[in-house]
Chain A
Amino acid sequence: MVAKPQIDIGEYQYGFRDEEDYVFKSGRGLTRATVEEISAMKGEPDWMRDFRLKALDHFEKRPMPNWGADLSGIDFDDIFYYIRPAEKQGKTWDEVPEYIKNTFEKLGIPEAERKFLAGVGAQYESEVIYHSLREDLEKQGVIFLDMDAGVREHPELVKQYFGTIIPYNDNKFAALNSAVWSGGSFIYVPPGVSIDVPLQAYFRINAENMGQFERTLIIVDKDAYVHYVEGCTAPTYTTNSLHSAVVEIIVQEGGRCRYTTIQNWSKNVYNLVTKRAAAYKNATMEWVDGNLGSKVTMKYPAVWLMEEGARGEILSVAFASDGQHQDAGGKVVHVAPNTSSQIISKSISKGTGRSSYRGLVKVYKGAENVRSNVVCDALLLDETSKTDTYPYIEVEEERASIGHEATVSKVAEEQIFYLMSRGLSEDEAMSMIVNGFIEPIAKELPLEYAVELNRLIQLEMEGSVG
């Protein structure tokens, strides 16, 4: 017998942590003073400070959502809301503090940047500690900064759009983000500029009980194109961390934006994110949303189709393993006639994991000739795992073509047997079936990410059977 190659079985490989060596760390809990302190430290204009304080008020008044996943494990008083790890941001990796640089080396970010990215932002705790953009893109007028720098360097542009797609009072966690946001990306792509390879942001939580609240604003001008990719990981702690981001995207006439997420938080992170895009005439917005990690995720990337010819596409893949609840899906709102959309959701549940598809297709009165298609497939790997579906369809216009298909399936024993009869181990057979199940979405990812996704699923499948 040949021994199986030794792989860390089922272990989360990004669970390591660094010793804390920070320039500033706020106290636990959230008060008006915390918010004012964050704003002051960033030297923000008054409008932004006022925006934060209004948001804080709303956050305090707004009840917790009474739907979706169980959020009772979040203790808002126990969280650190702002941590500044370094004095200043690096323009080269050498300017980044050694230990943080090492962490990103382990995560493979500098290498990925050299190989296939047009720009990189790396956020550690509350601040973006490294940022770069390919020179030729800068010359073409592309802006790729962290959000704080965006507020400082492009105040007019930011003020025009910030908080317009997702207002501070949109939901409790958008309000929280609006109050304490820090970091995230600010992107502007000028008319006609098409960025050939992705821009990437990487988010790393390190401290225990950390709250990370990055804020991203992307503006794709007329006939421009950008593919933005984000990844995220954190150390494994026994206590909970909170990640609550807000992402706002505007795609102008004829533009196209693709936003890809491979979320691989450790299993003690509550991941409660609001993502929404507005697509104008003949514009296309695509969300590719992969949720593998976290304890709880609630995330439903949305597209508002504002003008004729706009198209929205949401591809969502979720993997809920032991102790995880992935409550994910997508929302499409057809405001204008002749708009089209597609939502494809694939979820896999294993052990005590639970995945829920939650989606909305809404067609406003007057939005004629809308076409929308929703497909959600759930795969259960065993008898204990769970899945549920909450598809909401609100159509106010008669002339709309709305399709909806949902399937729940189990891995068939005969599939496992067939693959094993060709020399695949039971684990290999299982992960091959699972990878095949998500193939329609994996093939939409940049190759490096597709490979990573395959590998992560393989790790999750190790020792899952037999």
Chain B
Amino acid sequence: MSDGNSNGTTPMFEIENLHAEIDGKEILKGVDLTVNQGEIHALMGPNGSGKSTLAYVVAGDPRYEVTEGSIRFQGEDILEWSPDERARKGLFLAFQYPTVIPGVSMANFLRLAVTNVRTARAEEIAAEGGSAQPFTPREFRRLMREKMALLKMDDAFATRYLNEGFSGGEKKRAEILQMALLEPKMAVLDETDSGLDIDALKVVSEGVNNLSGPKVGMLLITHYQRLLNFIKPDFVHIMHDGRIVESGGPELAHELEAKGYEGLRARTAEAAAS
């Protein structure tokens, strides 16, 4: 483990000049982004700008090849890590389109996932006075039920097969439930708001807000400003054509809402020309 953290200057999560391609087509063309502990960042941008690709690359999706740049988490380069190593270190991606795994119950799947992640963090948990002893099925059920209640999910969810027959809203809640149980340090939420009606959006946002805190970094990927009425970001970034083209505070999202991507781009171009 790098001791780069100890002086407090190493950011928790840092992407530098990241280039990535799929099937030979370059999607990310030099992304720079830094998220510190306790910060919530929103990443906005039009369809096809590379937002979801960035999410997948952070999680280690093997379909993408990183051709240049780096991603560092707590000072360590994670690009060589497999997706499960990343998860065990505390990274999490809430998928925009979670995959169906027939025959695998939420409870069985999550118990193994939580056991793995907690086992990997045993030292940390011990340092905080806890125990990484795996939960018994009964204990785990109780914990799961607690978290499901917070997300207003029915108990029956625990025995349903992973994402099978889930409505759009149920899928999103299930992703946040996973996040709640895995307690990541850095979470990327890919369009967690899409397809949600206003009530569901409130519940999911509340869930996310409960999980944020001084120790957690978050990157919210969203197409619409709507989500940011419920979750207040510290920073907003605009992505276009594989790069982050503009960064600012929450006001940037409002400006985007007013002018649209086109308007914003025109203004940026003007500024660049003058």
Query: Residues of A at under 8 Å CB distance from B?
Result: 1-2, 412-415, 417-426, 428-429, 432-433, 435-440
Contacts and interface: CB of A to CB of B under 8 A. Distances in A.
Interface stretch (B102-110, B199-207, B216-224): B102-110
A436 B120 contact: no
Interface of B: 59-63, 82-88, 92-93, 95, 98-99, 101-104, 108-110, 112-114, 116-117, 119-120, 122, 161-162, 178, 182
B62 A413 contact: yes
B176 to A, nearest CB: 13
Contact of A420 (B83, B108, B178): B83
A423 B182 contact: yes
Nearest to B109: A432
A50 B120 CA distance: 68
B10 to A, nearest CB: 21
Contacts of B62: 413, 417
Given A417-B83, A435-B104, A439-B103, A422 B120 contact: no
15 contacts: A2-B120, A2-B122, A415-B101, A418-B99, A421-B83, A422-B178, A423-B87, A423-B116, A425-B84, A428-B112, A432-B108, A432-B109, A433-B101, A433-B104, A439-B103
B182 A421 contact: no
B101 A436 contact: yes
A418 B98 CA distance: 7
Contacts of A419: 101, 109, 113
Sort A-B residue pairs by CB-CB distance and give the 10 closest, nearest first: A436-B103, A439-B103, A436-B104, A423-B87, A420-B83, A422-B113, A423-B116, A418-B99, A423-B117, A420-B84
A20 B226 CA distance: 77
A438 B103 CA distance: 7
A432 B112 contact: yes
Contacts of A425: 84, 116
A2 B112 CA distance: 15
B173 to A, nearest CB: 16
Given A421-B93, A423-B182, A437 B87 contact: no
A423 B110 CA distance: 10
Given A2-B119, A413-B63, A432-B109, A424 B102 contact: no
A435 B93 CA distance: 24
Contacts of A422: 84, 87, 109-110, 113, 117, 178, 182
Contacts of B93: 421
Nearest to A425: B84
Contacts of B108: 432
Q: Most chain-A CB neighbours within 10 Å: which of B60, B95, B102?
A: B102
A409 B240 CA distance: 37
Q: Most chain-B CB neighbours within 10 Å: which of A436, A439, A440?
A: A436
Contacts of A435: 103-104
A82 to B, nearest CB: 43
Contacts of B110: 422
Given A423-B116, A428-B112, A418 B101 contact: yes
A1 to B, nearest CB: 8
Contacts of A424: 84, 112-113, 116
Given A417-B62, A424-B113, A439-B102, 10 more contacts: A413-B62, A421-B86, A421-B87, A421-B93, A422-B84, A423-B84, A423-B114, A436-B102, A436-B103, A439-B104
A420 B60 CA distance: 9
B182 A415 contact: no
Contacts of B99: 412, 414-415, 418
A229 B108 CA distance: 26
A1 B82 CA distance: 12
A419 B116 CA distance: 12
A440 B161 CA distance: 11
A421 B84 CA distance: 5
A433 B112 CA distance: 13
Q: Most chain-A CB neighbours within 10 Å: which of B82, B92, B103, B109?
A: B103
Contacts of A414: 99
B103 A417 contact: no
Contact of B161 (A412, A436, A438): A436
B104 A420 contact: no
B104 A423 contact: no
A432 B101 contact: yes
B116 to A, nearest CB: 4
Contacts of B109: 419, 422, 432
A416 to B, nearest CB: 9
Contacts of A1: 85, 120
Nearest to A5: B119
Contacts of B113: 419, 422-424
A415 B61 CA distance: 11
Contact of A417 (B61, B88, B92, B112): B61
B149 to A, nearest CB: 21
Nearest to B178: A422
Nearest to B123: A2
B143 to A, nearest CB: 16
Q: Most chain-B CB neighbours within 10 Å: which of A413, A414, A421, A429?
A: A421
A299 to B, nearest CB: 24
A335 B176 CA distance: 55
Contacts of B85: 1
B98 A420 contact: no
